[in-house]
Each structure stands twice: as structure tokens, then as C-alpha cells.
């Protein structure tokens, strides 16, 4: 197996931690460098199990700081990048778009520049893999699915910043021959997701008998994929994806928010020995998110046909595993919801 020094950014976050774990365990011959700023969303406990692995190094750094990034590329001679670091929550992007421009756009361009400069004499092997979202395609209203060829139509500051970063990555391929590959994935769920996103937030609120704030009528549709299946797809795209190509990743698993929430409520009633229907009583309809995208749905045939990837888990099994994880990792949840979390929660939800 080829010796590689792979930089994974955002590896203390939700998806990044699952990607780091997979690469550290599956590829002992690769040196895995996890670069993360440790924002509110980054948590080294997410990857505690591999922190002492001989092929793993953690680097605390901010991708917005170009000097710091250039120095790290020089020092560690990264051969490849798998870029996941981002500001990732739509509601926060509505409150504070500039953080999204800085990390998602400027941070990505800093990484592209550092890679271009280090790899300039050896543009035949290195890979710059940019991990993106289906939200860049905008909102589906009349059926159909997002294809890799669907025109970009981002609607939130978050998706606009991700779309912009995707364009820069493609521009560096086109202009400088940087060997890039991209993937755009649907909504992920699973262990270690920060409880600002729907699934862990609702599990935590049910556990604490707090209201479940459903935006609008709960009729928005999302396409849900278990996070480990996304990490497996990233492994496939990194090793087998064609340079310059984009791969859409999704589980063909669409749910309206309200139906998904009812599944979570039912499963939680069972786990917590509550009467069937008790958690559903916590559902509270609140003011809709501004510019709320109606439906996302990925057509994942390209990655399935070309790279042989497919989801390993049915949704029922995935949600069961997820709920079990949050229930048996109360300490993790209590820690991430202490401190500034309460201020965030009050500021966002009091207004609704």
C-alpha cells in the first residue's frame, strides 16, 4: 500500500470523526493528520478511541489562518487532503453569515493554495477531496432528484458558502490542474452529532421532557443517511473516484420532518419505558426557518454503479443504533450541552 500523509480537516466534528476513525483503523500504513480548530462543534472526545494510534496526529489549527496552514503543509508534507472542516448549521448561518464565508469559503481557498504550492512539482498523485452537501442544489418542489449535473441554486447562507467553496475547488482543477474530487451528501444522522441538528436535539429534548420545536408544519423533506455509510462512501470516493468528478451520496431515504420525529418519539418511548404516545405530546409547532428549503433528495446511482458503494444500514436499524448511542452516552450529551449551549438554544428558540 502506498505511504501517504493524509490531512483530514474537521476530524473532531460529527462526520469528520467517523472518517478519521475509519482511515486510522483501516489504513495503518497511512499517516492521518486531523486538523481542527475545535469550535463549539469540535470535540476530541469524539475520537478518543483512536487518539493513541501510532498513525494518528492531531493538529489544532484554523483553516482561515493562511500562514498557519502553509506552515503545516510544509512541515508535514501532506500528500492528500480530505476536507470536511466547515461551519455546518443552517440556523447559525442565518444569524451570522460571515463566519460561514470565512471558514467555508476563505478557509477552503487557503487549503487549495497550500496544496497547490506544495504539490506544484508533483501533480500526478496527490488528491484534494472536498466534502460538500446536497444543499448546494437548492430546494426540490416538483418531485425529481438532485443529480451531479443539477444546476447549483443555494438558498441559505450556509449552502451559498458551500456552493462557493465547491466552485473554487473545481476552478483549481480547471485552472491549475489540481487533482480534485468532490462529493455532495444528503443529511447525516448517527452518534456524535452536535445537538443543534434535528435528530440529536430531539432525542435530547425528549430525554429531558422539553418541547420539540417543529419548524412550520413539519412538512419539509430530508433524505437521511447513517453517518458511517457516509464515511464508507468517502473512503470509496477517495480511493476509486475519478479525478475532477463529483459524486452524490444519499440513502434513497426520504422523510417529512414530522414523520421522522414521530419515529424518534415512538422509539424513545420504548427505550425510556414511557407509555406509547407520551413523547409525541412534546411536539410544538414553531415559527418556520427563514427561507426553509422544502425538499432535498439525492440520486446516488453514479456512486453506486461506478464505485460499488451502497448504504449498509436500513433506516430503522440506523435510528435504533443512534438512539441507543445517545442514551448510553449521557455524559457526552451533558458535556456538550453545558456552557454556551444554553445561551445558543435560548437565543434561537425563544424568538420562535
Q: Which of 107, 241, 251, 311 binds ligand NAD (CB under 6 A)?
A: 107
276 among known catalytic residues: no
The length of the chain is: 352
Catalytic residue of the set 87, 135, 166, 254: 135
The residues near 288 (Cβ < 8 Å, ≥ 6 apart) are 215, 216
CA–CA dist 137, 149 (Å, integer)? 10
- Indicate whether 257 belongs to the interface with ligand TYD (CB under 6 A): yes
CA–CA dist 334, 338 (Å, integer)? 6
Residue 103, contacted partner among ligand TYD, ligand NAD, none, CB below 5-8 A by kind: ligand NAD
- Indicate whether 161 belongs to the interface with ligand TYD (CB under 6 A): no
Question: How far, CA to CA in Å, does 102 sit from each of 151, 183, 189?
Answer: 24, 21, 26
Q: Which of residues 144-163 bind ligand NAD (CB under 6 A)?
A: 162
80 among known catalytic residues: no
- Indicate whether 195 belongs to the interface with ligand TYD (CB under 6 A): no
Residue 201, contacted partner among ligand TYD, ligand NAD, none, CB below 5-8 A by kind: ligand TYD
Strand order in the sheet with 246-249: 56-60, 30-36, 4-9, 80-83, 127-133, 180-185, 246-249
Using the contact rule CB under 6 A, the part of the chain among 6-14, 175-183, 194-202, 337-345 near ligand TYD is 194-202
Main-chain dihedrals φ then ψ at residue 324, nearest 5 degrees: -60, -40
- Indicate whether 204 belongs to the interface with ligand NAD (CB under 6 A): no
129 among known catalytic residues: no
276 or 335: CB nearest ligand NAD:
335
- Indicate whether 337 belongs to the interface with ligand NAD (CB under 6 A): no
Q: x-or-dash pattern for ligand NAD, window 59-98, by CB under 6 A?
A: ---xxx-------------------xxxxx----------
Catalytic residue of the set 33, 56, 137, 158: 158
User: Grid coordinates in use for 126?
Assistant: 496527490
Which sequence positions are flagged as catalytic? 134-135, 158
Amino acid at each position: 500500500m502506498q505511504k501517504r500523509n493524509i490531512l483530514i480537516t474537521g476530524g473532531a466534528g460529527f462526520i469528520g470523526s467517523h472518517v478519521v476513525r475509519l482511515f486510522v483503523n483501516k489504513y495503518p500504513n497511512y499517516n492521518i493528520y486531523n486538523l481542527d480548530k475545535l469550535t463549539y462543534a469540535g470535540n476530541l472526545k469524539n475520537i478518543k478511541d483512536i487518539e493513541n494510534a501510532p498513525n494518528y496526529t492531531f493538529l489544532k489549527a484554523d483553516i482561515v489562518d493562511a500562514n498557519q496552514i502553509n506552515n503545516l503543509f510544509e512541515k508535514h508534507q501532506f500528500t492528500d487532503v480530505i476536507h470536511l472542516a466547515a461551519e455546518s448549521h443552517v440556523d447559525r448561518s442565518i444569524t451570522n453569515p460571515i463566519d460561514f464565508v470565512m471558514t467555508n469559503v476563505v478557509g477552503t481557498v487557503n487549503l487549495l493554495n497550500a496544496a497547490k504550492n506544495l504539490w506544484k512539482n508533483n501533480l500526478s498523485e496527490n488528491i484534494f477531496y472536498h466534502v460538500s452537501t446536497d444543499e448546494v442544489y437548492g430546494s426540490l418542489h416538483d418531485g425529481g432528484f438532485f443529480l451531479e449535473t443539477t444546476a447549483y441554486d443555494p438558498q441559505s447562507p450556509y449552502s451559498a458558502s458551500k456552493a462557493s467553496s465547491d466552485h473554487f475547488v473545481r476552478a483549481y482543477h480547471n485552472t491549475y490542474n489540481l487533482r480534485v474530487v468532490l462529493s455532495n451528501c444528503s443529511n447525516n444522522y448517527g452518534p456524535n452529532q452536535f445537538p443543534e441538528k434535528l435528530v440529536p436535539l430531539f432525542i435530547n429534548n425528549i430525554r429531558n421532557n422539553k418541547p420539540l420545536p417543529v419548524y412550520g408544519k413539519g412538512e419539509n423533506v430530508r433524505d437521511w443517511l447513517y453517518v458511517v455509510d457516509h464515511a464508507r462512501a468517502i473512503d470509496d470516493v477517495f480511493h476509486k473516484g475519478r479525478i475532477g468528478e463529483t459524486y452524490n451520496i444519499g440513502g434513497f431515504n426520504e422523510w417529512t420532518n414530522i414523520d421522522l420525529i414521530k419515529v424518534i418519539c415512538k422509539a424513545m418511548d420504548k427505550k425510556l419505558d414511557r407509555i406509547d404516545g407520551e413523547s409525541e405530546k412534546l411536539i410544538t409547532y414553531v415559527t418556520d426557518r427563514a427561507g426553509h428549503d422544502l425538499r432535498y433528495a439525492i440520486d446516488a446511482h453514479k456512486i453506486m454503479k461506478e464505485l460499488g458503494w451502497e448504504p449498509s444500514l436500513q433506516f430503522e436499524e440506523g435510528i435504533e443504533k443512534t438512539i441507543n448511542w445517545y442514551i448510553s452516552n449521557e455524559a457526552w450529551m451533558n458535556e456538550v450541552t453545558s456552557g454556551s449551549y444554553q445561551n445558543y438554544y435560548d437565543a434561537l428558540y425563544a424568538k420562535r
